[in-house]
Amino acid sequence: MLETTRTPRDAAKTALLVIAVILVAAALKIAGTVTLPLIISVFLFLLFNPFLNRLEKMKVPRWLGVVIAMLLLLIILLSAGWFFFFTIDRLVQRLPMYIRRFTVIDAWVAEKLDLDAGTSFLTYLNFDWQGIILSSLSSVSGKAINVISMASLIYIFVLFLLLERQSLIPKLKIAAPGGKGMRVAVLFERVNRQISKYLLLKALISLATGVLFYLACLATGLDFAIMWGVLAFILNFIPSIGSIIITLMTITMALLQFFPNWANIIYVAVLMISIQTVLGNILDPRIQGVQLNLSPFVILVSLSLWGFIWGVAGMFLAVPITSVLQIVCANVQSLKPVAVMIGSGRSYRKVVEEERRRARERAKRRAEREKRRSDRSNHNGTTQKLPAEIHEQPHE
C-alpha cells in the first residue's frame, strides 16, 4: 500500500519539476535583455575572483584591487568594441573582391561539371545575395547602441558584485534556512573554485589557440590574420563546435584568396587542423583533466538549449552553467540522480570496476577456502581408511 501511494507522489514531483524547468527557461528567454548580462557578470566575477585573492595575498588594498580589475575589464571591453567595428569596416571594404573570387570559383566548378554555357550555381539563386551580404555587414554597425548598452550593464553588475565580494559568504550563511548556512557557503566556494579554474584554464588554452592561428595566418599570408586569431580565441570557448567553425572559416578564406593555388590552400588546412587537433584533443583534456566531469552528450544538449535561449552568447555560457547545475544537484539529496546523469560517469565507472575487482577477489578467496576444505576432507578420509585396511589383513 505504501509503494502504491509513493509512486503517484513521485510522479507528481517529477511533473512539477519538469514544469518548473520549462517555466524558468521561458522566463530566461523572455527576459534575456536583463538575465543574459547578469549571468555574464556573475561568470566575470568568478573569473576575477582568484585575481583579487592573489592581490590581497600581496597586501594590495581591496579597493585598489577592485579598481585594477575594473580597469582591466574596461580595457577588454573597449578593445573588443574597437576590434569588432574595425573588422566589420575592413570586411565591407574588401568584400567585393572576395565576391569576384567566389564568382571565379563558381565558374570553375561549372566547367568541371560540364554545365551549360552561361549557367552556374549562382544562376539558380533568384535573389541578390551580394547585396544581402553587404547590407548584413553594414547593418551590424546599426546595432552598436544595443551592444554598448549591454556592455555598460555588464560593467555595472561586475562592479557591484566585486564591491560586495567580502560580504557575500556571510550573507549566504545567515540567509540559508534551517542552519544550513555553512553547507551553502561550502557549496558556493566549490562552485567558485571549479568555475574559476575552468575559465582560467580555458582562457589560457584559447589564448594559445588564437596566437597559433595568428602565426599560421602570417606564415601562409592569409588575409585578416589578427581577426582569425581573435576569432579562434573567442570560438574556442564553445566546445567542439567552435573549433570546427573557425577551422572551416579559415579554410574557406584560403580557398577564396589562393584559388587556384591548391598548395597554399592545403597548407592552410593542414596547419589549422593540426593546431586544433593538438590543442583541442590532446593538450586541452590533459590540462583540464576531469575538471568539469560532464558528459559530452550533455554538453552538446546544453549548447543547443542555451543557444536557443540566449543565442550565440548562450553557447559560450553553456558549459559553465551546466557545471554549476551539476554541483548544485550533487549537493541536494533529491536531485542527486540528475547530477549522476549529467556527469561523464568516469568516477562511477571506477566504482563499478572496483566493486568487480573486489567481487573477483572474494570469489577467488572463497574458491581457495573450498579447495582447502576439500583437501582436508580427502586427507581425513585417507587417514581413517588406512587403519581399517591394516586391521582387515589376515594374520599369518
pLDDT tens digits for 37-66? 888 888 888 888 888 888 888 888 888 888
Of 353, 332, 329, 352, whose CA–CA distance to 340 is shortest? 329
Contact 69, 162 (CB under 8 A): yes
Q: Give the number of residues written for the chain.
A: 396
C-alpha–C-alpha distance, residues 250 and 269, integer Å: 8
What pLDDT is recorded for position 191? 77
The answer to whether the beta carbons of residues 254 and 269 sit under 8 Å apart is yes
Tell me if the bond preceding 260 is cis, omega within 30° of 0: yes
Q: Is there a cis peptide before residue 285, judged by omega within 30 degrees of 0? A: no
- The predicted pLDDT at position 351 comes to 62
How do the domains of the chain map onto residue ranges?
8-163
Strand, helix or coil at 51?
helix
For the chain, helix, strand, coil in percent to 5 are 85, 0, 10
**252 and 286 in contact (C-beta within 8 Å)?**
no
Give the whole-angstrom CA distance, residue 353 versus residue 351: 5
In this predicted structure, what is the pLDDT of residue 44? 87
| 343 beta partners | 294
Could you give the CA distance from residue 174 to residue 329 in angstroms, rounded to a whole number? 22
Q: What does pTM read for this prediction?
A: 0.72
Could you tell me if residue 311 is left (phi over 0), alpha (psi between -120 and 50 degrees) or otherwise beta? left
Round to the nearest angstrom and report the end-to-end CA distance of the chain.
Answer: 83
User: How many CB atoms are located within 10 Å of the residue 393 CB?
Assistant: 7
pLDDT, averaged per 10 consecutive residues of the chain (396 residues), comes to 55 76 85 86 84 84 88 89 79 77 75 64 59 62 73 89 79 67 74 78 86 91 87 84 87 85 87 85 60 74 86 84 80 75 66 72 79 70 53 49
pLDDT for position 213: 92
Distances (CA, A) of 98 to 125, 139, 203, 223: 18, 19, 32, 11
**What pLDDT score does 111 carry?**
72
In this structure, the number of other CB atoms found within 10 A of the CB of residue 339 comes to 17
